[in-house]
Structures are given as structure tokens and as C-alpha cells.
Amino acid sequence: MAKQFERIEAAHREMMGRQAIFFVGSAAGDSRVNISPRSTNHFHVLGDLTVAYLDLTGSGSETAAHAKAGGRATVMFCTFEGAPQILRLYGRPRIAFRGSSEYQAFLDQHYSAGEPAGARQVVWIDLDLVQTSCGFAVPLFEHIGERPVLDRWAESKGEDGLIAYRREKNMTSIDGLPTGLEED
């Protein structure tokens, strides 16, 4: 039932464009495998072999640590409405933190209204494999809407509060791997 592709094709882009959520899994060496859900509001297909997402401040920064350690990442989309399908994008992550020229160029290209509250880094994934599978076991769900909680939390923290939070919570992974964050 699984089918492999050398690159993202038009049907894959269309399927991803209909989803409200994706999942990112990452690991490096003997680290724990981390899997996180993300809203597709900040997901971007940049080419046939490159995707990126603007990563918002959260309780950990595992993907950044795994990228710094030379690890791998998988992005997974699955349909919860309509025809069943799973799409996985396999590759190597790389990070651009706030304040870097790469980060700013990404914002300039994709966020004309300015930096979203709580943004901390861009995660690019350079793909080496695209795979679809049936998704027959994925249950049906109805998307009700986005949760405003993270945006409100980031706005209430303010810039200085977010910097302090990232210093406290985002400098290392749960396994003690450095994330590469060097926020002032």
C-alpha cells in the first residue's frame, strides 16, 4: 500500500494544503524520538525537496537539538476528513534562529504582516524521500478551529518574557543536547 516518490508532487501539495495539522518527528543518535503536532498555518512547501515551518516558542526545542546533532526528521500529514491517506516527508532538518539573516529572509518572504507572536526559529527540512500510505486506520475527525492559547500566552509574556522563557526551557533537549539557541 505504501508508495515512494523522489520528490513532492502536485497531488501531495494539494493534500497538504487541505490539512489543519501535521506532525514532526525527530531524533539524533541515542536521543529520544520526539514527535510534535503543529498547525499548518506556518508550514511552507519551498520546492520539490524542501519544506519549512515557522516554529513557535514551546516547552522544548527538540528538533533544533536533533538538527544540531546531525539527526533526522520526518513530517507526517494524514487526512482526517474525506479519502484516507498518510503522507510522510523524510529528511534532514536545519534551523535558523531569530536574529539570523536566514530567519529574517524567511519572514520577509512569507510573513508580510510581520513576525507572529512567539516565533523562535525556522525549521527547514531537506527531503530525501516522500512516501504515501493508505491511512485506512486513521479515524475521521472534524476540524473545529485553531486554538488561540499559544498566541495569547506569547503576547502576555512579551518580548523580554519570551527571551527569558527560551533561555530557561529551550537551550537543551530533554536528553541534554544543545539546541544552538544563543538568544540575548
Domain containing 63 — which CATH number?
2.30.110.10
User: Alpha-carbon distance 98 to 52, whole Å?
Assistant: 15
Cell of 165: 522563557
Q: Which of 108, 114, 101, 120 is nearest to 181 (CA)?
A: 120
Q: What is the pLDDT of residues 112-154, one digit of tens each?
A: 999 999 999 999 999 999 999 999 999 999 999 999 999 999 9
pTM value?
0.95
Residue 175 lies in a domain: no
- Any domain includes 177: no
Report yes or no on 184 lying in a domain: no
The number of distinct structural domains making up the chain is: 1
Residue 120, Cβ neighbours under 10 Å: how many?
Answer: 24
Q: Is residue 104 part of a domain?
A: yes
Domain presence at residue 179 = no
pLDDT digits (tens, 9 = 90+) for 79-92: 999 999 999 999 99
Torsion of CA 2, 7, 8, 12, to 10 degrees: -20
| Inside any domain, residue 79 | yes
